[in-house]
Homo-oligomer: A and B are copies of this chain.
Amino acid sequence: MSSSKQGTEALNFSGGLACPIPISDYPHVLLAHGGGGKLSQQLIQKMIVSQFRNDLLEPLHDGAIFSQNGTRFAFSTDSYVVNPIFFPGGDIGELAVNGTVNDLAMCGAKPLYLSAAFIIEEGFPMDDLWRVIVSMQDAATRSGVMLVTGDTKVVDRGKGDKIFINTSGIGVIPEGIQIGSRNARVGDKIIISGSIAVHGIAIMSVREGLEFESPIESDTAPLNGLVEVMLQASKNIHVLRDPTRGGVASALNEIAESSKVGIRIDASAIPLTEPVRGACEILGLDPLYVANEGKLIAFVPADDAERVLGAMCEHPLGRESRILGEVVPEHVGTVVMRTSIGGSRVVDMLSGEQLPRIC
């Protein structure tokens, strides 16, 4: 025996720490545990963060930040399980590269290196694999990162679904930048970089067989270039977030909670194209909860907001940027929306699943 452990020990786990999510409530993992809403947050907080607890693990941010010899690095990981893997405006490969590039950019980092790990289902067409790989390299070139290490696993037919891709990434954070989900401050203006809900609707339209005059295409795009011009305009940006799973509503709720502030947004300021609005109505989806893959939200001190907004509007990926709302001292931890008829309502965290396997 080269291992000192007893074989039975591994099988006697139940004598250890009790599972922090009551088994009576959730005996099994549900799709909603991966949906980006309340159940996801509960799973991550109670099971993973509580167990892995350390100073660097900031659960609701997009990446961890660590220092080495005076340089600050961002480190991030995401697995992509989107279905279908090819969709209008992109594919799982492009999404996997852009997604991790964006997670690094949301830490204020310049993304440098990515890993790519594939879990492929036996029988996956070789041509489709090639198409995904070429797409990843194209996306890497576009965002200026290098794919430097990888892994390939194959699982038996029926034990996976075509292809899953994990990308992890490393970036360097320039001096003077302090961006984090806990940093929103009362008075901050909240800027959004363009129209929302596009990626989620692109995926759902394909799944549901909706036909449009012109297809709604995913907004998947690398946001590091946009972040660069924003940081040139102001080093005082407090929070950056790309509202993916769970959409704008979930992202804002997470920030309100992490920063212990209130958030007020204007319904009339939410950028939404007509085709996406129409598709949301047909599908019964609230666009505030639908995933984006090429948009960001920034929390910026009021004094710098116009300068940052101006820089964003000059960038191809930020032309439609606008101020969505602001940070307020009232209703701490809560997002409130002023509706178009003058009332206001709480915009809650997504509860349960809305769109599984959207990214």
Contact = CB atoms under 8 A, between A and B. Distances in A.
A79 B26 contact: no
Interface string A1-40: 1110101001101101101110100111111111100001
Contacts of A294: 2-3
Contact of A152 (B21, B33, B91): B33
B34 A219 contact: no
Nearest to A57: B148
B64 A113 contact: yes
B77 A116 contact: yes
Interface in A127-178: 127, 129-131, 133-134, 136-137, 140, 146-156, 158-161, 164, 166, 168, 170, 172
Contacts of A320: 2
Nearest to A316: B4
Contacts of A10: 86-91
A81 B170 contact: no
Nearest to A26: B126
Interface residues of A, number: 116
Contact of A126 (B19, B87, B113, B160): B19
A47 B130 contact: yes
A108 to B, nearest CB: 15
A32 B86 CA distance: 25
Contact of A134 (B17, B35, B91, B120): B17
A78 B117 contact: yes
A63 B149 contact: yes
Interface stretch (A68-76, A181-189, A224-232, A299-307): A68-76
A259 interface: no
A66 B168 CA distance: 15
Nearest to A198: B2
Interface of A: 1-3, 5, 7, 10-11, 13-14, 16-17, 19-21, 23, 26-35, 40, 43-44, 47-48, 51-52, 54, 56-57, 63-64, 66, 68-71, 73, 75-81, 83, 86-91, 112-113, 115-127, 129-131, 133-134, 136-137, 140, 146-156, 158-161, 164, 166, 168, 170, 172, 194-195, 198, 214-221, 273, 294, 320, 356-357
Given A19-B126, A29-B126, 9 more contacts: A2-B294, A3-B219, A7-B215, A19-B127, A28-B122, A43-B152, A52-B116, A78-B151, A164-B164
Instruction: Give the 8 A-B CB pairs with smallest separation, nearest first.
Output: A34-B154, A168-B168, A77-B115, A64-B148, A19-B130, A159-B161, A166-B166, A64-B149
